Amino acid sequence: MQESEWVSDLHGIHRAVAALGHADPPPRPRHGPGPTAIEGTSGAWADWVERWHATSTLTPGVRSSYRSVLAKIGRWLAAEHPDVTTPEHWTRQTCASWVAAVDRMTVGDYSQWTAGMRSQGRIGKPLTPQAKSGYLKVPRAFFRDLHEWEWIPQRFNPAHALRTPRSVQALMGPDPRVIADDIWAKLLWAGLNVEFEDLPTADGRTYPAELIRAITLTWLFAGQRSDEVARLRVGCIRWQYDGVPIPGDSGEVLARDAVCLLDVPLTRPAPRSPSPSTRSLGRRSRHGRLSGPDQPAILDPKTNERADFLFAFRARRVSKHYINETIIPMLCRKAGVPTADVRGNITSHRARSTIASQLYNAKEPMPLFELQE
């Protein structure tokens, strides 16, 4: 076990002992400013990775994940090609060697830390096709940037030398993990009939009941990603009748045959149009913020602007993990269904796949291009 692993384990044990009242709480771990230093690679390769990381305009989360893969590549180079210490030394043969290594790689190979993987029993298992494709996508982007920025001379085309093999691409077709109709029907019933005793509010340490109910209906009917749900803004619900916008907060509107539109915040670099939603969700959200007292504007990490989030409480917006960690277990308990099925755990994204599949397979199906939009 590496030193970083046993230090992390010791810190966890110290916190557990302190919680029992047998010791003082441990000091907060100090990793220093910025990300953890890259270990196991040549110093020159680590310097190039850090230089790219400081220059790239990708989002912080994506940049960090790319940095981890590039560090893994550096450890592979140190073990298999010690003479290749900088990107300038790469050739088409080096690319071919990395493609072959990725195709045979297992979980944990060339990783700096393996404690989490070991506790989950994943060490030594083959990589999924998606993981293999990601390990090739990262160096493609890395070398493409270095060539465009004229940091190194172009000796090969990354799009061709590091492309994902067809044998891997063939295993990466669409695979929507649709929830079975009977289980989905029970979850819908549970969400529409949530009572106070079902809510995780008995200890008074979580969100108001009305806020939880609104998040539940949004997950069940909106068909949006969890981070999109967490970033919904006040006023995102709009009503439309026969193509004409109408006020959404008047009681008489709800009696008409009106269409409820949900303005979804930008998540991916593509234009977004309002998404049709259900009238029950519109009724929940038509009065603006559901969290009780007015909340201050909160920084949106995606757009770096302050916004009035719909699902906010005590000056903090609801985490995108709240649906997976709280809402779905609550619904499964009420519906009497397990939190996992033959396709895996019931997660927030599976509702999106289920709703899309139902719309496509209905008696009057939604056209594929409209469904994609």
At residue 251, does pLDDT exceed 60? no
Are 295 and 201 within 8 A, CB to CB?
Answer: no
Are 153 and 189 in the same domain?
A: no
Contacts of 308 (CB under 8 A, 6+ apart): 233, 234, 235, 289, 295, 297, 298
The strand pair at 275-277 and 259-262 is best described as antiparallel
Q: At what angle do helices 129-148 and 60-80 cross, to 10 degrees?
A: 90
Domain assignment present for 23: no
Q: What angle do CA 206, 209, 215 make, to 5 degrees?
A: 90
Tokens of 48: 């190039």
Please give the tally of structural domains in the chain: 2
User: What pLDDT sits at residue 30?
Assistant: 43
- Mean pLDDT along residues 153-179: 90
Are 137 and 259 in the same domain?
A: no
pLDDT tens, position by position, 145-162: 999 999 999 999 999 999
User: What CATH number is associated with residue 251?
Assistant: 1.10.443
Are 201 and 209 within 8 A, CB to CB?
Answer: yes
Q: Is the pLDDT higher at 66 or at 370? A: 66
Tokens of 356: 């899309």
Ordered alpha helix ranges (H), 277-327: 279-285, 322
User: What pLDDT sits at residue 201?
Assistant: 62
Are 158 and 190 in the same domain?
A: no
Q: What angle do CA 68, 71, 72 make, to 5 degrees?
A: 90
Mean pLDDT over the full length of the chain: 82
Which of 103, 100, 44, 46 is CA-nearest to residue 71?
A: 46
Domain assignment present for 5: no
- Mean pLDDT along residues 183-204: 81
Nearest-angstrom CA–CA distance, 233 and 353: 24
Q: Is the pLDDT higher at 62 or at 10? A: 62
Tokens of 318: 């609801």
Are 60 and 127 in the same domain?
A: yes
Domain assignment present for 202: yes
pLDDT tens, position by position, 73-102: 999 999 999 999 999 999 999 999 999 999
Domain boundary, last residue among 169, 189, 204: 169
At residue 132, does pLDDT exceed 90? yes
Are 238 and 264 in the same domain?
A: yes
Domain boundary, last residue among 169, 192, 213: 169
Are 79 and 202 in the same domain?
A: no
Are 155 and 187 in the same domain?
A: no
Which of 51-60, 180-189, 295-304 has the least mean pLDDT?
A: 295-304
At residue 290, does pLDDT exceed 60? no
Q: Is the pLDDT higher at 7 or at 272? A: 272
pTM: 0.68
Domain boundary, last residue among 126, 145, 169: 169
Which of 12-26, 167-181, 242-256 has the least mean pLDDT?
A: 242-256
User: What pLDDT sits at residue 24?
Assistant: 77
At residue 291, does pLDDT exceed 50? no
Which of 182-186, 287-291, 321-325 has the least mean pLDDT?
A: 287-291
pLDDT tens, position by position, 3-38: 444 445 566 687 778 778 888 776 655 444 567 888
Domain assignment present for 284: yes
Domain assignment present for 174: no
H or E element: which one contains 358? helix 348-360
The count of other CB atoms within 10 Å of the CB of residue 25 is: 10
Are 42 and 154 in the same domain?
A: yes
Range of the domain at 354: 181-372
Domain assignment present for 79: yes
User: What pLDDT sits at residue 101?
Assistant: 95
- Mean pLDDT along residues 46-69: 93
